[in-house]
A and B are shown apart, each in its own frame.
Chain A
Amino acid sequence: MLAVKAGDQNAFALLYRRHQNTLLNFCYQMLRNYEDAADVFQEAFRYLFLHAATYEPSAKFTTYLFRIARNLCIDILRRRRRWNLQQLDTEIDVQDEKGPLESRLEADEIEAHVKKSLEEVPEPYREVVLLRLVQGLAYEDIAHITDSPLGTVKSRLHAGFGFLRQVLKRKKLIE
């Protein structure tokens, strides 16, 4: 990131490639809509590039990047709530998702169904569960990204996994 700060576009492209998959999947899991996820993803990297000069390496770069993306996701979720668009987006997602999901069904049935079950987990819990499993993020990083106390992060993580277990139990995927 320091190289990007100095104006190195190749370094930016390297960072982009390294975090592309995880960040875009995270945005999709937060928003359940590929178009919105792509918008947030682009805006996050645009912000990163334009404000590289103000970057201070006080925290991990991953923390910084996910904090930007997470705040942009929250903006969109707030806007959806304001305009009551949650239902509409979910319906669109189901159609968008058919192709890639079918092609990605894995041997382990639970793992394949976790993706679908995640959308039933309320947003504050879902984001913590997702962030916890992003490579290299510690509880302190998640607390920084979500602007929450450490205890809240841990309790939401516990409850988030509890929600997922409930959903999978309801679908009779676990006993």
Chain B
Amino acid sequence: MKCGSITNDALVDYGERQGDAEARKPIDRHLNECRPCRDRYEEVKRIAAGVRATLTAPLPKALVDQVDAAVLGSLDKWAALRTTAGPSRRMWFIAGGAGLAAAAAIVIAIIVALSGGNAAKEDPGVVNKPKSVEPGPDPKPEPKPEPKPEAPEPRPEPKPEPPPQPRPGPAPEFKPKPEPVPPLPESPRTKAPLPEPPPPKVEPKPEPKPEPRPEPKSEPAFARGDVNRNGKLDRDDAAQLDDEILQGRTADLGRADVTGDGRVDCGDVLAILQAAEQNP
């Protein structure tokens, strides 16, 4: 058995005498032979004891009294709710959902009437947003308060839509304009706009130039710690690095050494997570 194959969770199990005796034997043998692993085992054991102590620590009396009063003191009230309010709460929820759907339909109808169809592309997103948030938490005590703060969100979204929508409207009218350009030299305008034809020829040239410029800027975005090379420093990088470390594939991960200590380890994962949280 190698040192890297003994994980911290295995050491916790070992310390708690969990798992079958056969599985414990190789760890037992290795710990007898390997001093660093024995030290790590002692550390993990003490850390586990510390975590367990935090879970069983005595709580401030004021806090205990507060929750006792809030829970045990409310049992009769809750019992009344349990017998009567159960189905009606669900009905309120369904009625609320129907109301929201009706409001959304009215908003959609207004947008469609104002702009002539393009708004329909974005409407499903507006309707889906509250739905996607609700199924997240399993327990149902939350659903009531959640839709309320999010209900106003869909409203401001359609408002900015009408201004951009008229823009795509006239856009097809601009397309034919390039067609009249050829007649320009022939038409009587040729006298006045003589200086004009050269500028349109010059304009398309500078346009392609700025395009290649931003591309080289995006290349150095593969910053230190960007393990998955997607240009962002986020939790996915930390998760991938975590997997790489667990599987012992850190040899070619020099870019993941965020802490700069010459090693790729949990400290780097932590640093990436902290950076990702600071720059979401």
Contact = CB atoms under 8 A, between A and B. Distances in A.
A114 to B, nearest CB: 3
B187 interface: no
Interface in B46-72: 46-60, 63-64, 66-67, 70-72
Given A29-B54, A47-B141, A163 B63 contact: no
A108 interface: yes
B9 interface: yes
B269 A159 contact: yes
Contact of A118 (B51, B71, B238): B51
A42 B56 contact: no
Nearest to B81: A50
A165 B39 CA distance: 12
Nearest to A175: B39
A159 B266 contact: yes
Nearest to A157: B9
A163 B266 contact: yes
A134 B266 CA distance: 24
A161 B12 CA distance: 9
B149 to A, nearest CB: 9
Interface in B233-252: 238, 242-243, 245-246
Interface string B30-45: 0000000001100110
Interface string A9-46: 10011001000111011100100001000100111111
A22 B78 contact: no
B236 to A, nearest CB: 13
Interface residues of A, number: 69
Interface stretch (B132-140, B193-201, B214-222): B132-140
Given A154-B9, A161-B8, A163-B266, A72 B141 contact: yes
A12 B82 CA distance: 14
Given A68-B139, A111-B53, A122-B273, A24 B67 contact: yes
B78 A50 contact: yes
Interface of A: 7, 9, 12-13, 16, 20-22, 24-26, 29, 34, 38, 41-47, 49-53, 67-68, 71-72, 74-75, 78, 81, 86, 99-100, 104, 106, 108, 110-115, 118, 120, 122, 129-130, 132-134, 154-155, 157-166, 168, 174-175
Q: 9 smallest A-B Cβ distances: which pairs?
A: A114-B50, A161-B8, A162-B266, A111-B50, A157-B9, A158-B7, A115-B54, A158-B8, A42-B70
